[in-house]
Structure 1
């Protein structure tokens, strides 16, 4: 999952990035609204964490424009503005949640999980696929009740594929979900993670459409044809 942090305070932005990366998210930081707008239109993000008082404008106006253009990804406002009218305005303009600084990192991560779950139309916090159970909060994976240890990128890749179950995700989309602008990325990194997941979870779970990408079939669906290389 890739998160865009819109925050001009370097200390706060750095702390948020460390917290999010520690939880397995890929993170990019935009110190201005214009930079954030550009980032959203050239890369795929799963969520925005938005400050309101930015050097080039107000986050509420930016959020209003975002929703008017039909961008529906979850947005959580993180701000020092604690007045009730500000909270109401943020939520009315399309924010999925509103947290007042300072806040506990654990609460932020929990609210992020709720917002992502709502955006996917899920009620349960645990993702299930056949005998596979994935708990994003606990960062655990179980197959037929047995714990399967995964590394951070493997876990993030599995989540991305399960959340899009039945859809083929291109290599580019998966790399965007796993790595930020500043992350080092080796040319075969994605294939290595796929190989490790198949070794730990079985070859049948992760399917390849050659020349296109990868997907997890829906539990009741037949695999798609592999297609041309």
Structure 2
């Protein structure tokens, strides 16, 4: 899942980026709305995290314009104050969540993940395919009821494959949803993560390579 943070406060922004990336999310950053609009024009996001008041405008007003243009991506507004009128204005502008700063990074991660799950169709809390089970909220994966130890990036790739099962998922799609703008699309980062996943998930092989197309789960779930 990919998140855009629009925040001009260095320490607040950096802490949020570290926490979200550590949880396996891909994170892009903009420090003003001019940069944010450029990123929104070329990337698809699962969630927006917006500082309410930036030097180049009120994010509630900018969000309202996005909604009028048909941009439906879930959005969270962050604000230093906790004034009821500001919160109401934020929700009226189209925010899905409104959080007062400072906010604990652990809480921010859970709130952002909850918003990401709203993107598109509602997803189940636990993804199941064959003997593979992914508890999305707890970020825990079990195969044949055995708990596995996966890195945040491995979890992100596996989640995408399970959400899109039984469709083939291209390397480009995995890059766009599981990595941020710092990733080199010509590198072999996807292949490396998939290879590690195959080893950790064990036999029989869970992830099949579809030559020239990408990857898909090789397990069946009765569908």
TM-score (norm 1): 0.85
Q: Which runs of 5+ in 1 are unaligned?
A: 222-229
User: Which residue is equivalent to 2:110?
Assistant: 110
- Measure how far apart 1:164 and its partner are: 2.7
1:213 aligns with 2:217: no
Distance in 2 (alpha carbons) for counterparts of 1:144 and 1:203: 12
Q: What stretches of structure 1 move > 6 A for 4+ residues in a row?
A: none
RMSD: 2.3
- Residues 135 and 80 from structure 1, CA distance in 2 versus in 1: closer, same or farther, beyond 3 angstroms? same
1:140 aligns with 2:151: no
Distance in 2 (alpha carbons) for counterparts of 1:91 and 1:216: 39
> RCO (CA 8 Å, sep 6+): is it higher in 1 or 2?
2
User: Which residue is equivalent to 1:10?
Assistant: 10
User: Which residue is equivalent to 1:149?
Assistant: 149
- Measure how far apart 1:204 and its partner are: 5.3
- Residues 120 and 207 from structure 1, CA distance in 2 versus in 1: closer, same or farther, beyond 3 angstroms? farther
- Measure how far apart 1:56 and its partner are: 1.4
- Residues 71 and 163 from structure 1, CA distance in 2 versus in 1: closer, same or farther, beyond 3 angstroms? farther
- Residues 105 and 8 from structure 1, CA distance in 2 versus in 1: closer, same or farther, beyond 3 angstroms? same
Distance in 2 (alpha carbons) for counterparts of 1:22 and 1:130: 28
User: Which residue is equivalent to 1:97?
Assistant: 97
User: Which residue is equivalent to 1:73?
Assistant: 73
Number of residue pairs matched by the alignment: 221
TM-score (norm 2): 0.87
**Native 8 Å contact 1:52 1:59 kept in 2:** yes
**Native 8 Å contact 1:120 1:163 kept in 2:** no
- Measure how far apart 1:63 and its partner are: 0.9
- Measure how far apart 1:53 and its partner are: 0.9
